[in-house]
Structure 1
Amino acid sequence: MIGPGYARAIVEHYATAWSAQVQRLPSGEGPVHQLGPEFGIVECGRALGVRAFATVCMSQPGDASRVELHLLTREPGDSVAARMAELLTAVAHYHRTGNLLGLGHTVNFGEPWLPGSRCTHGLISLPYLDGPKLEWLDAQDVRCLWLIPIAKEELAFKRSYGLEALEVRFEETSFDYLDPLRAPVV
């Protein structure tokens, strides 16, 4: 069982890294009970017009490799918040009951990230926009990574050429990671 100190440390880490107040979202639908009582999704205003949604207690203190994930969006509204919570909860459930996830792994969302988007998968990446201040919660040895929505073409490119090659494409094209309607970079 997770003590409240572990969950609190994760939430405080997000608040410090993003210099903003963190709000816990209501539990979404699905088998949330399988994720433990401390599991949750929080929302935080990361920067002007950008919202971050992040897992709390996706990993457990006893896990060999503890990982938490966040998604970023500039789309407003409660329905978007509910969608981000749903996606992160599904990914956390897969992590807890399927295969442990980590840096460079991809997940299938099963549907578009947001309505009309070609991004139906997520790439677990370093938090390039926030750097080491977000990446590591040292006291708990927890790694906070960025779940970047990607298109199936980008997933195929990653499988063929590797993670680094895909990340180079992201940089070369200056892709807008917040645009749900963006075209694939490959």
Structure 2
Amino acid sequence: MYNLELLKQHLETNWGKGTDKKGQIPDPLKKMSEDFSVLEFPPSEKHDFWIYSTLGMSADNPANLIELHIFSHKQDSTLIELLTTTASFHRNDTPLGLNHTVNFGRPWQNDSVCSFGFISLPYMDGEALEIFNLEGGHLYNLWLMPITESERDYKIKNGWNALEQRFEDCGLDYLNPQRASCA
């Protein structure tokens, strides 16, 4: 188990003051342990968008220590459920990691074309956010990037490097739920 308060301080050092949304985790998803929560970070001087981050996603999984965050152009409480569901999958089904994809089972936001997520490095915040040092190891804060089904298929066929290059080539508009697919 890692110190959640220190992790929260680490996230707040990078993104500013966050609000704990533990009380908004939907009842059917409360199979997560009591230590799990989702933090909401409003736009700040550093980023002009909302950030939602897990807190305690890997608290009982020392072999695969990650936390995930997702960006939004607007305040969106449905992302609390999306992150909780993804964290539950990580804890109770299949451990997730860098370059994995997940099926959200619904659009990322409203009628978005993105219904999958790609777990990527936090390119906009770098290693200062990515690596949280623990006694005897590290926890990794990774970006859960919403992607389309065709982008997920492209990654399966061509690999994660090719997908990231495709994003670079097409100028991925990662905050736009209605963006065109890059694949």
TM over 0.5: yes
* One of 4, 11, 14 as aligned partner of 1:7: 4
One of 29, 35, 46 as aligned partner of 1:38 = 35
Does the aligned pair in 1 maintain the 2:39–2:55 contact within 8 Å? yes
Equivalent of 2:78 in 80, 83, 103: 83
1:57 equivalent in structure 2: 56
Which residue number corresponds to residue 27 of structure 1?
Answer: 24
* Structure 2 partner of 1:167: 164
Unaligned 5+ residue runs, structure 2?
none
Deviates more, 1:9-18 or 1:24-33: 24-33
Give SS of 1:118's match. coil
Aligned to 1:94: 89
Distance 1:128 1:48, change over 3 A: closer
Q: 2:139 aligns with which of 142, 151, 157?
A: 142
What is the rounded CA distance, in whole Å, between the counterparts of 2:179 and 2:111 in structure 1? 10
Q: RMSD over aligned Cα, in angstroms? A: 1.5
Match of 2:121 in 1: 126
Letter of the 1:70 partner, please give it: H
Q: Give the deviation of 1:63 after TM superposition.
A: 1.3
Give the partner amino acid of 1:41: V
Cα-to-partner distance string for 1:79-126 (whole Å, 9 max, x where unaligned): x1x211010000000001100000011110001000121100000000
Q: How many angstroms does 1:45 deviate by?
A: 2.7
- In structure 1, C-alpha distance between the alignment counterparts of 2:166 and 2:143, rounded to whole Å: 17
Is 1:6–1:61's contact at 8 Å kept on the other side of the alignment? no
Match of 1:73 in 2: 72
In structure 1, how many angstroms separate the alpha carbons of the residues matched to 2:48 and 2:141? 21
**Residue 153 (structure 2) pairs with residue 156 (structure 1):** yes
One-letter amino acid matched to 2:166? R
Percent of residue pairs bearing the same amino acid type: 35
Provide the TM-score with structure 1 as the length reference: 0.90
SS at match of 1:37: coil
In the superposition, the TM-score normalised over structure 2's length comes to 0.92
- 3-state SS, counterpart of residue 90 of structure 2: helix
Paired AA for residue 64 in structure 1: A
Distance in 2 between residues matched to 1:110 and 1:30, nearest whole Å? 18
More helix by share: 1
2:181 is matched with which residue: 168, 176, 184? 184
Aligned residues: 178
**Conserved 8 A contact 1:27-1:40:** no
1:38 shift after superposition? 1.1
